[in-house]
Structure 1
């Protein structure tokens, strides 16, 4: 196959893969042994590490041919687009060649479904197997699991891939039936349950036998499309919470619907989901996973959507003014975590440091607390920064005004550079 044809395929199948956002690699600890190629490390896939490095992976579809006609998908069978497909060896060669040129640190491989689920999944697994066994490739590999694939193929995939993921696609079963009536929600849930069981089983084996093979060390994730169907943020987060609790997912990714096809079941072509909604969902998801918030504390029947002008943590704080002010020198960790402007690490530092003496505003500022937010909700060993007797509405106005002022100041600074 000549280079021009490979380049054409790459352009088509990399472009088709851009709509899948569930490709972070945090959590994998695959080590490079026997002088192999690459290392799987945290943060791969066009992400930024804590020290500011940008790391990337090759993100492509095996093919954009698909037997399904999902209303929201650019690769739907009825869409008149240029089709292409890689062979297994072509994907292997591209990955190795791109890695040797230092373009990538891993592979994210998904696919349209051609023929049937097992036929497609078997080829995805072969790519990963060849990379691991024939090329001793130890870089990060994320495979998109095909709904309906057999347990045997899923088990084999877990032996070679760092992370596996099955896209739920729509937040609810009703949304899936509306836009992808050919698909079955159970076909998506069954492999997620299988992977949960296998990951737990293999983790226990690894504790007993050091040489037991690793199995999907970065776990499993999923993705939902937001805004293609009319689910509220409450329904979206409720669905995510269900799968976190019942399937031990590492991440749920939220993809704002991008209007690429005209269909009477879809929003109008000029109605894209605002990026800020997607951002607020990720912030709410973070609160659920790391800060101890429950879904009904973030959104509820009376307020089913997240506020777009402020983040969900600040929104909760303003709606629960009876909690404040909080004495930072006495409150327990779980309450400190709910203070706007105090992050996970800062909260832990506060609890540790106050064992040695009462903390002042200067102390907590050095710990990374954003005083411009936190000062409305806490008391400290001095009153320099405290703002008392303010309603939630006034606090919101002050914070938004200050944010706007900072934005304008930064914009003017950037313009002055030119």
Structure 2
């Protein structure tokens, strides 16, 4: 098979993996290392899709052959797809060639499982080693880690890669057992725990060799099983708390050819994936917990409005908030106020009391913020305090049009 044909197959097969952002990598440049590639400086442009995905990496699979038969995976053993496999040298050459053409700033490499987890992991590590040691490549490298691989191979992967990731695959252990019975949730969690320990050890001991400086991430499929949004967010909160993950990625289930009867006939609405990302943002940066975002009696996030607005409408007694006196924690809960704007408000009000025009100059979305704040020249009218009216107003546009709305 020609190299270009392999690339077409294995780049397309990698599109289902969402967890490839390059944030947090070690700063390196080719002049300092006298090698090739960089994560900063002239000629390097970090480009992100609206949902946070980095689009400047060569994103491929080593192979789409796989010994596993996970029902939700297009590359499963029983799938009737065209197969291909790169050699380690071909991946190295492709990465260097793409970088020299200024197409990419690094490599995101995953793989189906060939022969055994250890055999596959050995080849992934060899590619990263060759780039770093043989070619002095200073660009970003993200390797997908195979949970069942030997610990020493995972240790080597962390030595060469900026970020490692292990996919939990499904939000719940029951979902994984039903759709991927050959994989064990306990093995996945154990590998994630080992990665956390190695990453923290390297950070605490400056004399220790660098190890996955950009941390670890994971991905879970949304809508392939019966897990509701509350269960998904609970799983994410546990992952962040127990394994110090940098990011949990959510990938809406996409129907695949010759699908198992265990899978739903239709995919979930894409806006559900976006709402989960917004809720995830609230968990990590805005001080919310799962019970606030998805209460016990409301296990699914509303699709027509974002989760922060939904929380605010359920808690009208907390509003309006005075932007001139409210603490940071209260301002972060105002719909439409992002973390950056909150910091700007706190800085500016040290010198003057804020008016609506001041918020406008800070590029605050006034239409969304007005019903929830008090300024020197504004207090919400009674009609602006009516929750049903506000929900109808903000849900007036189709939910799908809000797919790539700004984060809350």
Q: Quick one: distance in 1 between partners of 2:174 and 2:100?
A: 46
Are the equivalent residues in 2 in contact too, given 1:121–1:145 (CA < 8 A)? Answer: yes
**Change over 3 Å in CA distance of 1:234–1:341 after alignment to 2:** same
Are the equivalent residues in 1 in contact too, given 2:33–2:138 (CA < 8 A)? Answer: no
Give the stretch that moved more between structures: 93-102 or 247-256: 93-102
Q: Which whole-Å deviations, capped at 9, do the CAs of 1:288-346 have from their partners, x for residues lacking one?
A: 11111101100022111111000001000001011011111111100100001111011
Q: How does 1:192-211 map to 2 (within 5 A)?
A: 192-206=192-206, 209=207
The reply to whether residue 85 of structure 1 matches residue 85 of structure 2 is yes
Tell me the secondary structure at the aligned position of residue 59 of structure 1: strand
The partner residue of 1:256 within 252, 263, 281 is 252
Q: Quick one: distance in 2 between partners of 1:71 and 1:388?
A: 53
Are the equivalent residues in 2 in contact too, given 1:70–1:76 (CA < 8 A)? Answer: yes
Q: How does 1:284-299 map to 2 (within 5 A)?
A: 284-299=279-294
Tell me the secondary structure at the aligned position of residue 90 of structure 2: helix
Q: How does 1:107-256 map to 2 (within 5 A)?
A: 107-206=107-206, 209=207, 212-256=208-252
The partner residue of 1:328 within 323, 348, 363 is 323
Q: Quick one: distance in 2 between partners of 1:55 and 1:23?
A: 8
Residue 224 of structure 1: how far off its partner (Å): 0.1
Are the equivalent residues in 2 in contact too, given 1:24–1:45 (CA < 8 A)? Answer: no
**Change over 3 Å in CA distance of 1:168–1:44 after alignment to 2:** farther
**Change over 3 Å in CA distance of 1:237–1:376 after alignment to 2:** same
Match of 1:39 in 2: 38
Are the equivalent residues in 2 in contact too, given 1:64–1:83 (CA < 8 A)? Answer: yes
The reply to whether residue 30 of structure 1 matches residue 24 of structure 2 is no
TM-score, length basis structure 1: 0.90
Poorly superposed stretches of 4+, deviation over 6 Å: 42-45
Q: Quick one: distance in 2 between partners of 1:387 and 1:341?
A: 18
Q: Quick one: distance in 1 between partners of 2:157 and 2:307?
A: 37
Match of 1:397 in 2: 392
TM-score, length basis structure 2: 0.92
Q: How does 1:62-77 map to 2 (within 5 A)?
A: 62-77=62-77
Superposed CA RMSD in Å reads 1.8
Gaps of 5+ in 2: 402-408
Q: Quick one: distance in 1 between partners of 2:113 and 2:182?
A: 12
Tell me the secondary structure at the aligned position of residue 108 of structure 1: strand
